[in-house]
Chains A and B, each alone.
Chain A
Amino acid sequence: MARKQQPEFDIEKIAAMAGQQATPKKVRLATIWLSGCSGCHMSFLDLDERLVELAKMVDIVYSPIVDVKEIPECDVAIVEGCVNNNEQEHELKLLRSRAKFLIALGDCAVTGNVPAMRNQFELRDVMRRGFMQTESTKRVGVPSDPIVPRLFPKVRPIGEVVRVDFYLPGCPPDADTIWYVITELLAGRTPKLEKPKLRYD
């Protein structure tokens, strides 16, 4: 089991600073950013002042916006992006094994979306195009260092790698929709996605 690290930015401290006493039993929330444009995380940050509200209810224990190196045990995991390489697959599987409830956030996680457009091409051609044929990368060549994560021949949405408990499509989903889903889940209800909350674009 991974050792739990103390986050540099303690969300409880922030809540305390806001004059709020953190409740003892908070939900542990992790978010992860795989192959995506970070737009879904931006949309998450678009919760704006509701983030303070959220901080009263959850601890964000792992996230691109939290400096924690290892994936801890958590109650809810939110995944942005699809699975492009072996590192992402490893992280996703690890997250799944440590999360009680996993949400696919945004079209990349749900369908593969834009990153999956490369699935129409041979991996070799994709690499050549990306690392050799563009103006800025001509001389670099395709990286071959074993430390660099290895791209899979096909991009997969996360549902094809791990079990997903809730799909929240959208490119990106609105902050309002994210808020609705999180608050419904925290209230112990299953969110009902219908138009206009349900969107694929």
Chain B
Amino acid sequence: MAEGHSPLEQFLVKRIAEICIGGDDPNPGDGVFQCVGGLDASFTNASLFMLIAVALITIFLVFSMQGRSLIPTRWQSMAELSYEFIANMIRDNVGTEGKKYFPFIFSLFMFILFCNLIGMIPYTFTVTSHIIVTFALAFVVFIGVTIIGFVRHGTHYLRLFVPSGVPLPLLFLLVPIEVLSYLIRPVSLSVRLFANMTAGHTMLKVFGGFVVTLLGLLGGTAGLVGIGVVGSIAALAFTIALTGLEVGIALLQAYVFTILTCIYLNDAVHMHH
């Protein structure tokens, strides 16, 4: 594969505006940004697409709800649909106590959904394909759920790690496993979203690369031209089908992230399971 056309090139974070807090550039004017001893808080394409996602969500929700008619317009029913989807999810999984966490979970869902979907547009940047972004989201959920659990149940929350009705010798084995599976939650939650996005976009790029490679055969002999024509059309059809699959994955992963957040929240709010 030619230089500069790696399937992973699309995930490169580039600085748009260079901001350095507290540090300095040892050799300014050489065109290379350095931030020694300070915090590199540059405005990157990742920050740009996060802002675009937030702006789009705000525009979508504010403008679609402006009419507030009893019989919703198409846009209004889309906004109501997304609201009801999350409200039902919280009611089914957490119950009525979960209602006060609705704003957080709804924001989480919309942010992940819009970041995933914006990433499907060619030449854009997928924010959720970076582990640090998804890990930050998952870690906020993890810390929040743990605090809610301890605030609601005090030290009784530790009983979450002790399965009931298990003989004492087995507890020595089971409690560490339960603690480990609790601590691994933010990792699995973030890696699931990140790996799905990265794998999907890499796969699209690889199959797109097949089209270009096979078109390169068209300059060859008659047999090679036949392979090139058939192969590139097949690869293009496959890329289109994969794009459809990826849009589905984008929706599904936003759903999975949110429903797992609800399940973790239910553990913290109700405990008995």
The answer to whether A and B assemble together is no
